């Protein structure tokens, strides 16, 4: 047996997804592109790449999980702590909390030495992000069962997570309840002060400051900066300036963050000259200006349409030896996007690559969105290909932008291909209704019914959460296109899948079948609906009446819209006719 030490050329996320989405077993077919001499041996370098690949899956959580499951079955391989941590983050982001607990149970059973308090902190933060406060707090009680005793650091992380996600009231209550169990420290008070300032409740924030001093802690630069943020958010700029002076008197010199907070607040109110005064004052006080301060100013000028001033600051920043980051360029790109200046966007992306600042997903999304809006879909595809070859993995937004761009140009085949790729990568467990509706309607209007069926089959076969709304879009699209029998056929499939049609869908199909004199299908659908209504303790009579009422309201609303459009067209025609007469 030989160990693997060869240099690796890993697959791109696109290649990985194509291998992995067919089935977890077929992913092994992708291994030859790693240049490995033996499929059964996996080097340390490959293990590192696996962790990186999990992180690169981005929004494609299902894909990441399939990749993780496949890797665990490879001979001689065990997940590292970093890989477990990445997977907990991915599942937490997907809100698959049952799967996270199952994963933690697996760690306790198979790799107990890897189970640390950090894994539980990640879980707490994900619960807090989902606004599941009780569940986040319960993690503290569950930790001892797994051999991890929560300490002041873990408790501080919980308070921080709750305060950052807008649950400061619950965090303050928890802090009071747990004062005996966890000795308060500076981090605990700082988190609470941040939470109250973020909510704009300065009285509560000042009370935390008093409590902090009573506990024997002096405010540090982080505490002062949080208070500055509170004043800035409330628009109390004079109080903010007074606090800067107080900081100097107490020997806590303001740093770049302190000044940037004030600059950001002024920029948001279009007080750009005042923001520049704070910036110049900062330089006079010999406070080192950082990338964030410059980026904040550039953002302000670009937001208010002063792109040239933004470029001046960018040049000044580079002359000072600072390297702009993606966010710096992003603000300038957005300003160009508003003015529909695609050439300038492309030149800026090229310029940022020259200095070693590579575009992130937000930048690619901006360029692709503008290219599609201007009908330059080829330019959007070029940006997409560049992103796939050396940049981040495309997210749900990127796919949606590209699909709408193709539809706008009538490129239905390409739109279908990208939609199926998006579904195949596991980027959506429930279809985006707007994108799905536009795609299906566009295909049916172009009489591409087989392509529309292919898209629908892809959604069903790739494990998407196909609920009543998705079925309704498909059935209504078919009916609107005049394919009444097809619509009825899919309605029967929907009921076979245990999904009951909405009342107006049932009423619409009954009207259509009545015109076709097709009593057999009407009876079949009616019987199934009657049975499903009974199972749900709903009277069929009420269901039917509600459907007819909803359908009438829809038709009435559509008629009103049509009349409004006709009146608008007549008014426009009258104006044009008047201009012609004058001419």
Name the token pair of 536. 């749900």
- Residue 70 to residue 73: CA distance in whole angstroms: 6
Q: What is the DSSP letter of 30?
A: G
Q: How far apart are CA 417 and CA 399, in angstroms?
A: 11
pLDDT in tens, 540-564: 888 888 777 776 776 665 555 555 6
b/e sequence 131-166, b meaning 16+ C-beta within 10 Å:
eebebbbebbeebeebebebeeebbbbbbbbbbbbe
* CA–CA distance, 432 with 416 (Å, rounded to integer): 14
> Whole-structure pTM over 0.85, yes or no?
no
Q: Compute the 3-state secondary structure of the chain and give helix, strand, coil in percent, each to the nearest 5.
A: 75, 0, 25
Nearest one of 344, 427, 411 to 372, comparing CA atoms: 411
Q: Tokens 């077929």 label which residue?
A: 26
> What gap in Å lies between CA 49 and CA 38, rounded to an integer?
17
- Name the residue ranges covered by the structural domains of the chain: 1-115, 394-466, 474-575
Rg of the chain over all Cα atoms, to the nearest angstrom: 30
Residue 363 contacts residue 349 (beta carbons within 8 Å): yes
Could you give the CA distance from residue 202 to residue 209 in angstroms, rounded to a whole number?
10
CA dihedral 79, 85, 86, 91 (to 10 degrees): 110
Contact assessment for residue 478 and residue 511, using Cβ atoms and an 8 Å cutoff: no
For the stretch 304-344, pLDDT in tens is 989 999 999 999 999 999 999 999 999 999 999 999 999 99
Q: Would you write out the chain's pLDDT as a tens digit for each of its 583 residues?
A: 333 322 223 333 334 444 444 433 333 333 333 333 334 444 444 445 555 555 555 555 566 677 777 777 778 777 788 888 888 888 888 888 888 898 899 888 888 888 889 999 999 999 999 999 999 999 999 999 988 899 999 999 999 999 999 899 999 999 999 988 999 999 999 999 999 999 989 999 999 999 999 999 988 999 999 999 999 988 899 999 999 999 989 888 899 999 999 999 999 988 999 999 999 999 888 888 899 999 999 999 999 989 999 999 999 999 999 999 999 999 999 999 999 999 999 999 999 999 889 999 999 999 999 999 999 999 999 999 999 888 788 888 999 999 999 999 999 999 999 999 998 887 776 667 788 889 998 998 898 989 999 999 998 888 777 888 889 999 999 998 888 999 999 999 999 989 999 888 888 888 888 887 778 888 898 999 889 988 888 888 888 887 777 767 766 655 555 556 566 666 665 555 555 455 4
């Amino acid at each position: 047996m030989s160990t693997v030490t060869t240099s690796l050329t890993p697959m791109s996320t696109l290649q990985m997804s194509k291998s992995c989405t067919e089935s977890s077993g077929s992913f092994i077919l992708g291994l030859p592109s790693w240049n490995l001499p033996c499929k059964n041996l996996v080097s340390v370098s490959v293990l590192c790449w696996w962790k990186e690949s999990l992180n690169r899956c981005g929004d494609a959580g299902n894909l990441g999980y399939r990749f993780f499951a496949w890797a665990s079955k490879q001979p001689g391989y065990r997940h590292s702590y970093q890989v477990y941590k990445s997977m907990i983050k991915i599942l937490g982001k997907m809100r698959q909390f049952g799967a996270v607990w199952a994963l933690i149970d697996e760690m306790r059973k198979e790799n107990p030495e890897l189970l640390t308090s950090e894994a539980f902190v990640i879980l707490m933060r994900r619960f807090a992000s989902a606004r599941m406060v009780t569940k986040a707090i319960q993690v503290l009680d569950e930790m001892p069962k797994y051999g991890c005793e929560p300490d002041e650091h873990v408790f501080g992380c919980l308070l921080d997570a709750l305060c950052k996600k807008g649950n400061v009231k619950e965090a303050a209550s928890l802090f009071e309840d747990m004062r005996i169990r966890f000795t308060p420290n500076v981090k605990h008070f700082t988190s609470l002060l941040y939470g109250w300032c973020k909510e704009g409740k300065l009285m509560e924030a000042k009370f935390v400051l008093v409590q902090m001093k009573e506990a024997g802690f002096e405010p540090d630069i982080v505490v002062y900066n949080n208070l500055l943020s509170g004043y800035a958010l409330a628009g109390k700029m004079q109080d903010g300036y007074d606090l800067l002076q107080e900081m100097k008197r107490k020997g806590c010199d303001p740093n770049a963050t302190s000044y940037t907070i004030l600059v950001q607040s002024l920029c948001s109110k279009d007080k750009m000259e005042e923001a520049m005064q704070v910036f110049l004052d900062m330089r006079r006080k010999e406070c080192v200006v950082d990338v964030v301060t410059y980026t904040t100013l550039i953002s302000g000028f670009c937001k208010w349409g002063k792109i040239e001033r933004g470029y001046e600051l960018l040049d000044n920043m580079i002359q000072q030896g600072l390297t702009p980051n993606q966010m710096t360029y992003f603000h300038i790109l957005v300003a160009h996007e508003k003015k529909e200046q695609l050439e300038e966007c492309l030149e800026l992306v090229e310029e940022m690559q020259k200095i070693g600042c590579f575009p992130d997903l937000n930048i690619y999304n901006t360029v692709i969105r503008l290219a599609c809006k201007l009908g330059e879909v080829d330019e959007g595809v070029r940006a997409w290909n560049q992103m796939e070859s050396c940049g981040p993995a495309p997210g749900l937004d990127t796919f949606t932008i590209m699909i709408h761009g193709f539809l706008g140009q009538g490129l239905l085949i390409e739109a279908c291909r990208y939609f199926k790729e998006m579904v195949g990568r596991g980027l959506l467990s429930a279809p985006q209704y707007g994108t799905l509706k536009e795609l299906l309607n566009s295909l049916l209007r172009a009489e591409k019914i087989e392509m529309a069926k292919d898209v629908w089959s892809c959604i069903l076969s790739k494990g998407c959460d196909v609920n009543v709304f998705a079925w309704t879009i498909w059935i209504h699209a078919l009916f609107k296109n005049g394919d009444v029998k097809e619509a009825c056929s899919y309605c029967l499939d929907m009921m076979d899948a245990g999904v009951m049609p909405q009342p107006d869908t049932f009423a619409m199909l009954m009207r259509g079948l009545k015109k076709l004199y097709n009593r057999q299908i009407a009876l079949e659908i009616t019987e199934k609906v009657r049975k499903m209504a009974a199972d749900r303790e709903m009277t069929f009579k009420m269901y039917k009446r509600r459907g007819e009422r909803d359908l009438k309201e829809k038709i009435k609303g559509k008629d009103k819209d049509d009349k409004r459009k006709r009146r608008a067209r007549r008014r426009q025609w009258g104006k044009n006719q008047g201009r012609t007469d004058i001419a």
